[in-house]
Amino acid sequence: MTMRSFGLIRQCCNALVRVPLAREKSPVSLPISHLSRSLTTAAEALKITYDEKSEVATMHLCRKPVNGLSLEFITQISIALEKLENERSCRGVIISSGCDNVFCAGLDINEMLRPTPERLEIFWKTLQDMWLQLFTTRLMTVAAITGHCIAGGCLISSACDHRVMAPNFKIGLNEVKLGIVAPFWLVDSVKNLIGYRQTEWSLMKGHLFSSEDALRLGLVDKVVPQDQVVLQAEADMAEWLQVPDSARHLSKTLMRRDTVVRFRSGREADLKTFVNYIPKESIQKTLHSYVESLKSKK
């Protein structure tokens, strides 16, 4: 197997003070006083490899301990996606995790705790952009879900084209448990997979599905033992790549158009709602208690 890492991507990912890269915007300097805590450095957090033979890249999320989606991390993912999208030989990307038993625990909650208005706005815009990139990319996308996949984690997996998950983990949208609400575009992408009622019910309860229930409902496509998830994702990717790229991508565009149109017309209002809602004292209290409960479960 011929593997090479994308020098350009690594280079970009290491230089992370100016964000976001987002296509439609110019870069903005970050208030770096609020960098969120992680056990990994920015350079270690995202590893990209490319297999020339299969024409498939792997995006390995390694922001320990739980791949919490901080502004810097989302920006790295976004830059990497853009680079892969522009790499003509690349046809697919597998998204995998280097965190034990966690694919992604969602947004880094620290981003929402006592945020500066400036950073909060950049954070949400960057997340919106990253989601749109992933949801509409020409690349075939497969999520190799080797652990829990919660809220923002489900944002990533549900934006992909195919999902393979390990048994006995949790997946879904639990935002209400934190006193917050998933944005309509994330809800839509889950609804596209599991239908209206299951989405409404799980959203209102903050219910996380077991891997097995997720398979039954269509929130994931396969459940295989944890040590086989990546291999299965690679095998499924190879099968998917037998379909001509442009026809596959046009079909995806056709199926996702309504969600994308709704997103584009609602994203400004969504941003305003987010930046007004998060700093509210009542929301801050609930988020704070949630973080405390995570820490005290040990």
Which residues of this protein are in contact with ligand LYEYTBR6, per CB under 6 A? 65-66, 68, 101-102, 105-110, 148, 150-152, 174-175, 178, 180-183, 273-274, 277-278, 294-295
The greatest distance separating any two alpha carbons of the chain, rounded to the nearest whole angstrom, comes to 54
Cβ nearer to ligand LYEYTBR6, comparing 57 with 70: 70
Q: Which residue is nearest to ligand LYEYTBR6 (CB)?
A: 106
Q: How far is the CB of 162 from ligand LYEYTBR6 (least distance, A)?
A: 22
Q: How far is the CB of 35 from ligand LYEYTBR6 (least distance, A)?
A: 13
Q: How far is the CB of 90 from ligand LYEYTBR6 (least distance, A)?
A: 28
Q: How far is the CB of 202 from ligand LYEYTBR6 (least distance, A)?
A: 14
152 is annotated as an active-site residue: yes
Cβ atoms of 9 and 79 within 8 Å: the answer is yes
106 is annotated as an active-site residue: no
Residues 6+ apart with CB under 8 A from 242: none
174 is annotated as an active-site residue: yes
87 is annotated as an active-site residue: no
Q: Tokens for 29? A: 């300097």
**CA 195 – CA 257 distance, rounded (Å):** 17
Cβ atoms of 31 and 115 within 8 Å: the answer is no
The rounded Cα 67 to chain-centroid distance in angstroms is 10
Backbone angles phi, psi at 88, to 5 degrees: -60, -35
User: Which among 55, 67, 174, 203 is annotated as catalytic?
Assistant: 174
Cβ atoms of 50 and 90 within 8 Å: the answer is yes
Report, as residue numbers or ranges, the catalytic residues.
Answer: 107, 152, 174-175
